[in-house]
Structure 1
Amino acid sequence: MTSPKVNLAVIYYSSNGTNFQLAQWAAEGGIQAGADVKILKVPETAPQSVIDANPSWKSHLEATEHIPTVSLADLEWADAIIFSMPTRFGNLPAQLKQFIDTTGGLWFQGKLNNKVVSAMTSAQNPNAGQEQTILQLYTSMYHWGAIVAAPGFTDSSVFLAGGNPYGTSVTVDQNGVMKEDVRAAVEHQAKRTISIAKAVKSAL
């Protein structure tokens, strides 16, 4: 039997570009796995004055103006979703949380059931809450009725990237340089997510 085509939405929030890069690598992994892929950003909610005071933040937003903003229709379209976001005090950035809080209508209609979801994150310190941030997102996904596709230790790339079984995480220095080589782990996570989504879609 031919495997079904999977629609993958890679949804990210990024202020300086790290999670946009992770999203691009996840998209590449999804394409390699045969998925139809969209890279989508969540709306920026920070005051423009705050953004203007941070040159790298402002520059990144200007460089990614062409990236579509995620909509609820994109969630309906997707069979699989990969989220990428920085950690904020061990929790989701407010911008992503605000978007998730708009999904109640879809949830009520059962349109988020069985979405296959995975997540990635970044921070400036390896103990700055990366695991907790991903787990906080997954808590919301359980309420959606989604199926969480964590990478676990299913590939050597996970170990090389720092060994986060919940989702790829990366440490970024003050210059925005990633300290771990996580590209292979991100691509593996995306391919695993697509594989699970294909199985789920075939069974429904």
Structure 2
Amino acid sequence: MMSVKLAIVYYSSTGTNYQLAQWAAEAGKEAGAEVKVLKVPELAPPAAIEQNPAWKAHLEATRDVPTATTDDLEWADAILFSVPTRFGNMASQMKQFLDTTGGLWAQGKTVNKVVSAMTSAQNPHGGQEATILSLYTTMYHWGAIVVTPGYTDSSIFAAGGNPYGTSVSVDQNGKMIEDVEQAVKHQTKRLLTVAEWVKKGLGK
């Protein structure tokens, strides 16, 4: 594989989407990609975070993870987003970050970025598909190339069978219910394969 630059851009309050991002990073490195794992800025007031021990602990544990910028998006050939669902939409922290990409978009620098997305919710019908689709709506405006996992590997069925992107349910204790690690890794490798085709086709 020619060197594909992969940015994994995530938001995570208590760690689920951070774990998805870590598995994706492992797969990206295994495939020979240059990988950056990047968090979007936290918007929640400190008082809200203080009231949730798991949220506070995760914020402190990931203090050293670099914060995503539009420069990272420009750098990347492929971008994998991981974000929890909030009432069937992406978390506001991710939406706020995407809303800062107007300058990049206006310069045509989001065109032909190869993208995919993952999500989590507290139950299988908690808006997981809608959340991924809401994120892809932005990608259509970007002129990006959306790569979904579809049903291209048995790991997708084992993970719950979401063709839009890997999604996982999380119980009240913050533990993942479905086994999605292999689905995440398959989705990442598929994203990189298509990104490599695009890169070769563009002669980059």
Normalised by the length of structure 2, the TM-score is: 0.98
The code of the aligned residue for 2:55 comes to W
| Mapped pair 1:190 → 2:176 | no
Separation in 1 of the partners of 2:51 and 2:6? 35
Residue of structure 2 in register with 1:199 after alignment: 197
Separation in 1 of the partners of 2:144 and 2:25? 20
Within the candidate set 22, 43, 46, 1:45 is matched to 43
Separation in 2 of the partners of 1:41 and 1:177? 21
RMSD of Structure 2 on Structure 1 (CA): 0.5
What are the superposed Cα offsets for residues 118-172 of structure 1, whole Å, 9 maximum, x if unpaired? 0000000100000000000000000000000100000000000000000000000
Give 1:83 deviation, angstroms.
0.3
Equivalence map 1:28-39=2 (5 Å): 28-39=26-37
Equivalence map 1:1-204=2 (5 Å): 3-204=1-202
Runs of 4+ residues deviating >3 angstroms: none
Normalised by the length of structure 1, the TM-score is: 0.98
Separation in 1 of the partners of 2:162 and 2:148? 9
**Which ranges of structure 2 fall in alignment gaps of 5 or more residues?**
none
What are the superposed Cα offsets for residues 166-204 of structure 1, whole Å, 9 maximum, x if unpaired? 000000001011000000000000000000000000001
Separation in 2 of the partners of 1:152 and 1:32? 22
**Which ranges of structure 1 fall in alignment gaps of 5 or more residues?**
none
The code of the aligned residue for 2:98 comes to I
**Number of aligned positions between the proteins:** 202
The code of the aligned residue for 2:71 comes to A
Separation in 1 of the partners of 2:146 and 2:49? 33
Calculate percent identity across the aligned residue pairs.
Answer: 69
